[in-house]
Structure 1
Amino acid sequence: MARIVRVSAERAPPRERRNAMRIGIIGAGKIGTALAKQFTRVGYDVAVSNSRGPETLAGLVEELGDRARAMTAEEAAEYGEVVVISIPYGRYREVPAAPLRDKVVIDTCNYYPERDGHDPELDNDDTTSSEKIRAHTGANLVKAFNAIYWENLRDRNRPKGAPDRLAIPLSGSDEDARAVVAALIRDIGFDPVEAGNLGQGGRKHQPGTEVYGAEIPAERMSEIFRAS
């Protein structure tokens, strides 16, 4: 079971919302940075990290404001009640595993053989990249934010009920962990759509699928998943 289950900050008063949970982000590339901006915007405390050291993130932390801090990957993994892994899949073994065991971890990674090198298990569809990251970390892993373009993640947040609010797919095998991540997706201005468990569901929103990169509402995404 997941370590924490929080009430959606979207339904919480401002003070509770700011104190809802701490989020660690391993990887400060485009997706990781966009998530850091969104999470701090709605009042979460965020720790960002990269492979080059906290001192290289001073500019980003200054931009994000007083709810952000720079840490090492190990420190960010310890700090976060929820931790985001947003690095090239080929480097997932570098992620500190011990601090993530049994935590809610969001995997934004995608497997691109031309970048990551060929992984025979993934090339043969024997498993998925998320299942391999879960095995490495022992976390309650949820795959999310991997199918949305980073510019849309940064700029296309909308109020609840807006006709142009975008859907974000997620998949995971732990119900409580999925609920935590779904709440975070809503909090930052998107609609979560569950695809299923980490294996079967994760395959529905990996690169090459109909929803990958699609700018569609939740109802349409749900239809696609029901038909698949």
Structure 2
Amino acid sequence: MKIGIIGTGNIGGVLARKLKAAGHEIRVANSRGVDGVRAFAEEVGVEPVDIRGAVNGADVIVLSIPLPALSALPADLFASVPAGVPIVDTSNYYPGLRDPKIEAIDQGMTESIWVTRQIGRPVIKAFNNLLAYTLAELGRAQGVEGRLAAAVAGDDQKAKETVMSLVDRVGFDPVDGGTLGESWRQQPCTPCYCCDYDAQTMRRALALAVKGRAPVIRNELPRHFQLLGPNPSHDDVVAMNRSFNPLD
């Protein structure tokens, strides 16, 4: 497939590498234009484009930029994109760590519902509940014991199945997270968020999520990261996330 990726940070950059390795035709863009993404694109072997080049003619579009940047995208960016093209939202809301406060989300709006309102198109929520290291290093072939899982939520079943196939191709078991309105179950500080679980445990974690609990934990994240120190290991971050919502 032709896949356009806007954002080449921790998640977008890894997805570009892994989806290219899986045989897809990848275009990458960021806020700095073609020249701003050219060095990364040449390193990975993908095509550097501007944000309009990333969406035009794409079979799948991946948005992997911070939430505030999503609201700054051109209002007509997706005007010519056919309705059936999946638009993947990998973002997470981190107030106090990276993002300014977003009142609608603070008042309870599901993050990806907020995203759909910013871009004027429905999205599929995916790849947001994996740490970048997990995505880059811990993928396994289908059927391998201990394969980890990633949740995928959305309202368009066909689009969701397309995205779930990409999750599988990059080395993870896709787990259906329900509708987009239910994607709060995979937001930061929920039981399934960045805990490196297999598919069976991921389904259990999604079911155990309690609406309204995660934002309380999330607001304490700056303090928790201070306790971990300036360069926490992947295992330390996973252990911290698991401690927020013990499954036993």
Q: TM-score range by the shorter chain?
A: 0.7 to 0.9
Distance in 2 between residues matched to 1:215 and 1:174, nearest whole Å = 26
- 1:139 — aligned with what? 121
Tell me by how many angstroms 1:55 deviates: 1.4
Q: 1:147 is paired with a residue of what secondary structure?
A: coil
- 2:214 — aligned with what? none
Q: 2:53 is paired with a residue of what secondary structure?
A: helix
Q: Deviations over 1:122-142 (max 9, x none)?
A: 1110x2221122223343410
Tell me by how many angstroms 1:216 deviates: 1.0
Matched, 1:226 2:204: no
Tell me by how many angstroms 1:100 deviates: 4.4
Q: 2:56 is paired with a residue of what secondary structure?
A: helix
Q: Deviations over 1:68-127 (max 9, x none)?
A: 1000011101142100000010111223342446221000011112222111111110x2
Match among 128, 131, 143 for residue 149 of structure 1: 131
Q: How does 1:72-151 map to 2 (within 5 A)?
A: 72-95=50-73, 96-100=77-81, 102=83, 103-114=85-96, 115-125=98-108, 127-151=109-133
TM-score (norm 2): 0.78
Match among 188, 191, 197 for residue 210 of structure 1: 191
Q: How does 1:1-228 map to 2 (within 5 A)?
A: 21-65=1-45, 68-95=46-73, 96-100=77-81, 102=83, 103-114=85-96, 115-125=98-108, 127-200=109-182, 202-228=183-209
1:130, 1:198 within 8 Å by CA — same for their partners in 2? Answer: yes
Distance in 1 between residues matched to 2:116 and 2:204, nearest whole Å = 28
Larger Rg: 2
Tell me by how many angstroms 1:50 deviates: 0.6
Q: 1:192 is paired with a residue of what secondary structure?
A: strand
**Structure 1 segments (4+ residues) deviating >3 Å:** none
Count of residues in correspondence between the two structures:
204
Q: 1:176 is paired with a residue of what secondary structure?
A: helix
The alignment yields a C-alpha RMSD, in angstroms, of 1.5
1:98, 1:137 within 8 Å by CA — same for their partners in 2? Answer: no
Q: Per the alignment, do residues 32 and 99 of structure 1 end up closer, same or farther by CA in structure 2, a change over 3 Å counting?
A: farther
Q: Per the alignment, do residues 93 and 227 of structure 1 end up closer, same or farther by CA in structure 2, a change over 3 Å counting?
A: closer
Higher RCO, 1 vs 2 (CA within 8 Å, ≥6 residues apart): 1
Flag the structure with higher strand content: 1
Q: Per the alignment, do residues 110 and 99 of structure 1 end up closer, same or farther by CA in structure 2, a change over 3 Å counting?
A: farther
Distance in 1 between residues matched to 2:63 and 2:157, nearest whole Å = 19
TM-score (norm 1): 0.84
Identity of paired residues, percent? 33
Distance in 2 between residues matched to 1:80 and 1:29, nearest whole Å = 20
Distance in 2 between residues matched to 1:226 and 1:206, nearest whole Å = 13
Q: Aligned letter for 1:34?
A: V
Q: Aligned letter for 2:143?
A: G
Structure 2 stretches of 5 or more lacking a match?
A: 210-248
1:86, 1:108 within 8 Å by CA — same for their partners in 2? Answer: yes
Instruction: Point out the more displaced range, 110-119 or 21-30.
Output: 110-119
Distance in 2 between residues matched to 1:119 and 1:58, nearest whole Å = 32
Q: Per the alignment, do residues 101 and 111 of structure 1 end up closer, same or farther by CA in structure 2, a change over 3 Å counting?
A: farther
Q: Aligned letter for 1:215?
A: D
